[in-house]
Amino acid sequence: MPNSAIIFSGVRTRFAPSPTGFMHVGNLRTALYEYLLAKSMGGSFVLRIEDTDRERLVEGATDTIFQTLKCAGLIHDEGPDIGGPCGPYVQSERMHLYRPYAEQLVREGKAYYCFCTKERLDQLRLSSDNPDSAGYDRHCRTLSDDLVAEQLALNMPHVIRQKVPLEGVTTFFDHVYGEISVPNKDLEDQVLIKADGFPTYNFANIVDDHLMGITHVVRGSEYLSSTPKYNLLYQAFGWNIPEYVHLPLIQGKNPDGTVSKLSKRHGATGFEDLVAEGYLPEAIINYIALLGWCPKDNTQEVFSLEELVRAFSIDGISKSPATFDYDKLDWFNSEYIRAMDARAFYEHAAPYYRQLGVDEALSATLLEVLQPRITKFIEIPEKISYVKALPEYDLSLFEHKKSKSTIETSISMLGKLTDLLSDISEWNKDSLMSRLTALAESEGVKNALVMWPLRIAVTGTLVTPGGAVEALLLIGQKESLNRIEIARARLSIFNN
RNA sequence: GGCCCGUUGGUCAAGAGGUUAAGACAUCGCCCUUUCACGGCGAAAACAGGAGUUCGAUUCUCCUACGGGUCACCA
């Protein structure tokens, strides 16, 4: 018999993903809460890979799990890559452990061998009154010992099933949902060991949680309905039942206004996809932390991971499902961007404008103009594309009600600006600003009447980050004058 | 369909028998202003419905409706 569980002190949580693809934000949030729960109570966070489904294995998926956790800052204390006292931490490497436990249950009459074929089971489902609700009919539950021995001796393919009590009620306590009771007659004799010899998730899960000393099982609420079966298993072994913390689902908003479980059609739902779309890992973590959990002092919204650890408590977790809101994520992302110091912002932003071929010397202006205005860094190229090339634009852009700018005033102002700007020797913010405001003053008009046509002529863009002065700075004197000439030439059709 | 869970503004949510039912995002308006954004101020917007219990229910109980989850040799 394998060793029994090592005795640990303190809280131990585990993140147990299966390597079947990318990291869904729902899974990430589960990992986050497991991390927060453990760390907030000075405990350990364990990573375990559940790869018992050989058919759904995806190459590289385990690396994605490692990278995502690292990138999100959820550092585990034990896991496949760093080891620990309960290794190995990959279920396929613990294969030898599970069957003896299952056989122990068989010997004790709490589980049994089942030789039913896939075909029989399919047939069972089809012939049932209600194909959707048919469970296993417990055909092999009462096979004689002799018959079982005979089948086994013949090497007949088989599984091991849990023998669920036919009567009674199983009750468990969940820290989020409270006490939940289910009649045992509604529980199926689930498979523990599959025909390929691998344990099912249902079985490996409880064996490993026990052996690894997991004190708090945190998982999505979709496991709520199978929890009674797990408890029956713990009881069958005489093991302690862990604390349960089931999490509300994360839903997505459908185009028709309804909601359903968050999936690809709602937009990016993988951590990597969100990062690729321009969301900062810290912002994603901050946002999903608040999806289904609320701090005691709920005046604060922006939390670092350390702050989350300090603020976290189980009773702040809500029962009702939350809808993923990209607008709110956007807001968090901009908050994180605005809070960056100059160096960090530069490091994130520079690659985007360099890729546009914009001169490094313009960084100062660019940074100042961009930081308060972007929600994601990937927006940078489209926001400043006018710097590299004057876009085609409609002359109607020169008309702007709020600035009182019209075609006529534009023609007039641009004429004056040509002279004024050719004349400037120091092409910097202060001198440009003072010369332009001086012009407005001498003309007896508002600054906007000068700035509007200038900005349009120089950028050809209705909305730009920063104003006319910044645009002039970014484009340079020569090209600015060139663009003003282009505008004047085009506007000349309105003369006469 | 059986079983389980849920339901406070468009979204995230606080509130746990007596409150003008917080706050944030989004929306709209105003201010600031060189367009936009930032910032400031403000507006609109909610206890799913019905029975109880109670002097009083958003808060407790039950029912209904709606939403979700689950019923695999997937996790």
pLDDT tens-digit series, residues A213-223? 999 999 999 99
Q: What is the pLDDT of residue A54?
A: 85
Residues A49 and A88: their CA atoms lie apart, in Å, by: 10
- pLDDT at position A318 over 70: yes
Is strand B less than 7 A from the beta carbon of A135? yes
Reported as a pLDDT band with limits 50, 70 and 90, residue A252 is confident
CA atom of A239 to C1′ atom of B62, Å: 38
A468 touches strand B (CB under 7 A): yes
Mean pLDDT of A56-85: 95
Q: Name the band, by pLDDT with cuts 50, 70 and 90, for residue A245.
A: very high
Is A467 within 7 A of strand B by CB distance? yes
Percent of chain A with pLDDT over 70: 97
pLDDT digits (tens, 9 = 90+) for A452-478: 999 999 999 999 999 999 999 999 999
Among A70, A261, A264, A319, the one annotated catalytic: A264
DSSP-derived 3-state class of residue A406: coil
N-to-C CA span, chain A: 101
What percent of chain A is modeled with pLDDT above 90?
83
pLDDT category of residue A1 using cuts at 50, 70 and 90: very low
CA A364 – CA A253 distance, rounded (Å): 40
Alpha carbon dihedral A421, A427, A431, A434, in 10-degree steps, equals: 40
pLDDT tier at A2 (50, 70, 90 boundaries)?
very low
Q: How far apart are CA A98 and CA A101, in angstroms?
A: 5
Report the distance from CA of residue A429 to the C1' of nucleotide B32 in Å, as an integer: 21
Dihedrals φ, ψ of A45, to 5°? -115, 120
Burial class (CB in 10 A: 0-12, 13-18, 19+), A273: middle
Instruction: Measure CA A263 to chain center.
Output: 12
Nucleotides of chain B within 7 Å of a protein C-beta? 1-8, 10-14, 22-26, 33-38, 67-75
Q: Please tell me whether any atom of strand B lies within 7 Å of the Cβ of A116.
A: yes
Task: Give the least confident one: A264-268, A310-314, A411-415.
Answer: A264-268
pLDDT score, position A496: 58
Name A residues 341-370 whose Cβ lies under 7 Å from strand B: none
Task: Encode pLDDT of A164-206 as tens digits.
Answer: 999 999 999 999 999 999 999 999 999 999 999 999 999 999 9
Contacts of A131 (CB under 8 A, 6+ apart): A125
Q: What is the DSSP letter of A239?
A: P
Residue with tokens 């393919």: A157
- Could you tell me the two tokens for A385? 């594309």
- Cα–Cα distance for residue pair A20/A270, rounded to 1 Å: 13
